[in-house]
């Protein structure tokens, strides 16, 4: 991926916090293997006092909150710990679904392979609220609010509803191809068709939380280019059948 620059991707800033729109493909924290740069390293290169207030998965894009000083970090940590933060994710899922305030309660564990799994005996309580935003002919744009924050929680909870995130091949999602939607689609005989989007379509869209002086913060991260283009293609070529 292209070099990511923190300052060019700030979506919110005040005296206590800044928030960035993290792209997919870059880790929030140091990676165990390899030498790939992480968000925390980029943040520390700007100011050593800056700290990540939470994290989002490497292959998920979206809003990431950063504290500018110790007091702000302590405040944010308590807010996240007490679940006083409203996190909203947007995802495109396979299939046409009408979710209306659906609450999924399925206990999750992390397996040795690093994947999440439903386990009613050993799993930790995990809750996600889901609402449909827009239906297409073969896909649905959904909003997901994770009440808890387990690894891969949204991905597995959606998959449990036969609504795997598009291109999330780990949890049953399928790669989307324009040839399946566009009539008379052609490509060069020597070229293999590329999917409309190459990573699973999950984006941390917004954060709502009290600031340092209890002033409410509502931070939104616009869709990254790959997701925005994908949704536009669905609106153009995958019109609903009703």
- Count the residues in the chain: 242
Phi and psi torsions of 19, nearest 5°: -130, 140
Residue 182 burial (CB count, 10 A): 13
Find the catalytic residue in 15, 16, 57, 226: 57
What is the DSSP-derived secondary structure letter of residue 20? E
| Residues paired with 146 in a beta bridge | 128
Q: Which whole-number Å values give the CA distances from 55 to 10, 21, 51, 101, 126, in the listed order?
A: 16, 12, 11, 25, 17
Cβ proximity of 124 and 118 under 8 Å = no
d(CA 63, CA 205): 6
With CA atoms as reference, report the closest residue to 154 among 122, 121, 131: 131
Q: Which two tokens stand for residue 116?
A: 């999440």
Give the angle subtended at the CA of 127 by the CAs of 122 and 132, to the nearest 5°.
140
Helix (H, G, I), strand (E, B) or coil at 153: helix
Active site residue 57: yes
Cβ proximity of 163 and 96 under 8 Å = no
Catalytic residues: 57
């Amino acid at each position: 991926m292209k070099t990511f620059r923190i300052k060019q991707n700030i979506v919110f800033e005040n005296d206590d916090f800044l928030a960035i729109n993290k792209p997919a493909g870059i880790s929030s924290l140091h990676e165990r293997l390899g030498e790939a740069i992480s968000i925390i390293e980029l943040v520390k290169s700007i100011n050593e006092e800056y700290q990540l207030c939470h994290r989002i998965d490497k292959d998920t894009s979206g809003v990431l909150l950063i504290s500018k000083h110790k007091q702000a970090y302590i405040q944010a940590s308590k807010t996240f710990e007490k679940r006083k933060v409203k996190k909203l994710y947007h995802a495109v899922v396979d299939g046409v679904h009408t979710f209306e305030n659906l609450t999924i309660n399925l206990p999750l564990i992390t397996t040795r392979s690093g994947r999440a799994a439903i386990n009613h005996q050993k799993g930790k309580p995990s809750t996600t609220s889901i609402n449909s935003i827009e239906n297409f002919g073969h896909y649905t744009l959904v909003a997901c609010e994770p009440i808890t924050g387990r690894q891969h929680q949204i991905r597995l909870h959606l998959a449990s509803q036969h609504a795997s995130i598009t291109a999330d091949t780990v949890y049953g999602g399928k790669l989307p191809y324009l040839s399946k939607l566009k009539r008379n689609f052609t490509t060069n005989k020597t070229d293999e068709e590329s999917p409309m989007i190459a990573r699973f379509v999950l984006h941390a869209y917004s954060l709502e939380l009290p600031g340092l002086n209890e002033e409410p913060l509502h931070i939104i991260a616009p869709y990254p280019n790959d997701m925005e283009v994908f949704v536009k293609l669905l609106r153009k070529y995958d019109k609903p059948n009703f």
